[in-house]
Amino acid sequence: MSDVSDTAERSPEITGASPNGPNGSPRLVRGLGMVFLNAREASITLIAVVLFIYFWASGTPAFFSHGSFVNIAEYMGPYVIIGIGLVLLMVCGEIDLSVGFVWTMSPFVMHFFIDSGLPTLLAIVITVLLLSLIGLLNGVVTTVFGVPSLITTLGSGYLVYGITLTISSAQQINLPAQSVGLGRWFGGEAWSEIIWASVLVLIFHILLRRTRWGLYTIAAGGNLLGARESGIKVNGIKIGNFMMCSGLGALAGILEAFKNDIIDPSAGQLAVVLVALAGAVIGGTAMLGGVGTMIGMWVGVLVLGELQDGFNLRGISSYKLLIIQGSAILVFMIVNTYLSRLRGSGRLAGTTSSRRTQRQKAADAEAAIADMGTSPIRGE
Amino acid sequence: MSTESAETFTQPTSDDILRVEHISKRYGAVTALTDVSLRLERGEVLGLIGDNGAGKSTLIKIICGFQQPTSGRMLLNGEEITFSSVTDARSKGVDVVYQDLALINQLTVYHNMFLNREPVRRPLPLLRNRIMRQEAQKHLDSMGIKTLKSVDLEVASLSGGQRQAIAVARSVFSDCKVLLLDEPLAAMGVKEGAMILDLVKQVKERGISVIIIAHNYGQVLQVCDRVNLLQGGKITFDKYARDTSVEELTEMVVAEYRKALEERHREAAS
């Protein structure tokens, strides 16, 4: 039957613990090892902590100052917010490059609504809802017309960007004076953005883990056909996630405008999508669908923020920072892939059993051929 | 049918749960099923055997609503019925278990068992995971599925036999009346195969009628009440399991190969 009982004996090798260590310790190490393997967020959290210790121990005292933490928090906020949308989409097997261009457009749209006499709060809400329609477009083109979402959102991204540049004449504009007061809650104050981001991460974490919507998102990304055959309306799920992603992009753009105190047509764009993607991927979200975590993405963006802040404080040039970021992505991804492979084999020795069934299949086939007393020509 | 029909075909009963009558299926120029009539008695296990390409999978796909037949009709409980989709068929009590199609690897066993029927809290619609976990465990226990360490496991970490067992259990859990199993024993070791056969017996004891596609005739005869052979898009053989044997079934198929070989030789000669 199953190899469940094997798991316990097998895991010491996996975690690297010595099976005959001093009394009690193998069990502890094994337990920690399993926690580490099972919680996808665990490994990236460890890396985040190690980075803190590194910058502290390697003589960058300013790293542990209020100003430095504000820097990290301000860096994280917008990336985490669009990261939420990207994780939702990656989990259901899609991607959205246009979210960065929605970010560029949204403060202009908000400005328009405030100019036409709407109160700031209402203007923000309407902007977010209106721009989530870009997600509707992305979702419909992707699911109904079957265009890969990478292409769909590349197209819609340029479309949105072009419209933004046209209506703004590619000029910066100031925020409407009457909006600045409320704007303090929307990115104007130093900590407001990361608070928005973190609260949203918690809400969407619950959405992904504890609601039917979340389950169906995972199901659509994990096994599209199977999900559809279970009666799940996968297109609706995907379209909804595209819309949430665009809405979050609109919110991030507005927060950034209030933070920088300017509405800038060069804000957002593709670069911010790539940073958020890096955070999501480092945090343990798979590109292939079915796997992803909001908390992991939050920590992934934190790691990027720590690197940014730490190297800035040490006076390392931003060019070198890019080299380090790039290498970090590659290294984390290799480790993540390796860990998830261990996860697969660790729990139930899945790889060995599938190898076993393949061998069995071959044996069965031989037996069947022998049974027939002739060599059949098989094949559809 | 021909004169030999009395021997090669069983007589319909008044209590057939499912009847497939004169079904054909063409894909463009290709004819997958020419004229298939098949019946399933209430509470029986019917084994469907035949060479690869004989049309077994096409037939299953039509019965489960995945595809629609080109012509012919189906009767469920004596009433003519059409299935517009797998979901439609499922809601009418006809469920199918495919090797890899059924389950979501990235979800836990209990989430898979409850997929699309999850109980949620009110007013905040959060999943009632504890109830699902308990119910799933209870249901697996009642079906004698003991190979799982926990229903909390992700399906990705299960063996082929365990996945098959979960998929079958899920169909039974959703109150199906007719269960179609497409090669449930493929790629499975002897032990796991035996587990699935036990499970099929369990399913039968619950009064569910089963059609099972299989290659291993020994295993088919262990669990089936009746065997049908599909050859060249037609049912050519239909006997109760007690009236046939592994040797007879093997001989039927081998004869087909001989015929095919002879034809090839004749073609080569001419």
For an interface test with B, give the residue of A288, A364, A378 to mutate (most B CBs within 10 A): A364
Which chain A positions have a beta carbon within 8 Å of B161's beta carbon? 1-2
Classified by CATH at the fold level, domain A36-348 comes out as ABC transporter involved in vitamin B12 uptake, BtuC (1.10.3470)
Nearest to A348 among B107, B159, B261 (CB): B159
Name the packing angle between helices A234-260 and A99-115 (round to 10°): 60
For residue A206, the chain B residue with the least C-alpha distance is B126
Average pLDDT rounded to a whole number, residues A117-133: 95
Contact call for A374 and B160, based on CB within 8 A = no
CB-CB contact of B26 with B72 (8 Å): no
Evaluate whether residue B139 is within a structural domain. Answer: no
Segment among A28-37, A214-223, A253-262 with least mean pLDDT: A28-37
For an interface test with A, give the residue of B58, B106, B216 to mutate (most A CBs within 10 A): B106
Please tell me the distance in Å from A152's CA to the nearest CA on chain B: 26
Which chain A positions have a beta carbon within 8 Å of B144's beta carbon? none
% of chain A surpassing 70 pLDDT: 79
pLDDT level of residue A343 (50, 70, 90 thresholds): low
Give the mean pLDDT of chain A. 80
Report whether pLDDT(A354) > 60.
Answer: no
Average pLDDT rounded to a whole number, residues A44-66: 81
Higher pLDDT, A69 or A353: A69
pLDDT level of residue A33 (50, 70, 90 thresholds): low
Residue that has been written with the tokens 């979800």 in this structure: B107
- Enter the pTM of the model: 0.81
The per-residue pLDDT for A63 is 80
| DSSP 8-state class, residue A65 | S
Domain count within chain B: 1
For residue B66, the chain A residue with the least C-alpha distance is A229
Q: Exposed e or buried b for every residue in A361-376, given b needs 16+ CB within 10 A?
A: eeebeeebeebeeeeb
Please tell me the distance in Å from A144's CA to the nearest CA on chain B: 18
The domain in which residue B69 lies consists of 15-106+175-269
Report whether pLDDT(A361) > 60.
Answer: no
User: Amino acid identity of B246?
Assistant: V
Q: Where are the domains of chain A?
A: 36-348
The per-residue pLDDT for B99 is 63
Evaluate whether residue B189 is within a structural domain. Answer: yes
pLDDT beneath 70, residues of chain B: 1-8, 99-101
For residue B103, the chain A residue with the least C-alpha distance is A226
CATH number at residue B37: 3.40.50.300
The per-residue pLDDT for A200 is 96
Which chain B positions have a beta carbon within 8 Å of A223's beta carbon? 101, 103-105
The per-residue pLDDT for B30 is 87
Evaluate whether residue B146 is within a structural domain. Answer: no
pLDDT level of residue A357 (50, 70, 90 thresholds): very low
Contact call for B115 and A219, based on CB within 8 A = yes
CB-CB contact of A106 with A113 (8 Å): no
Nearest to B116 among A221, A232, A291 (CB): A232
For residue B215, the chain A residue with the least C-alpha distance is A368
Average pLDDT rounded to a whole number, residues A111-125: 93
For an interface test with A, give the residue of B116, B145, B163 to mutate (most A CBs within 10 A): B116
Segment among A32-36, A60-64, A83-87, A155-159 with least mean pLDDT: A32-36
The per-residue pLDDT for B165 is 87
Higher pLDDT, A53 or A371: A53
pLDDT level of residue A1 (50, 70, 90 thresholds): very low
Evaluate whether residue B99 is within a structural domain. Answer: yes
Other residues' Cβ atoms within 10 Å of the Cβ of residue A263: 24
CB-CB contact of B39 with B19 (8 Å): yes
Average pLDDT rounded to a whole number, residues A336-354: 53
Q: Which residues contact B37 (CB under 8 A, 6 or more apart)?
A: B19, B20, B21, B22, B23, B235
* Whether ipTM exceeds 0.90: no
Contact call for B105 and A218, based on CB within 8 A = no
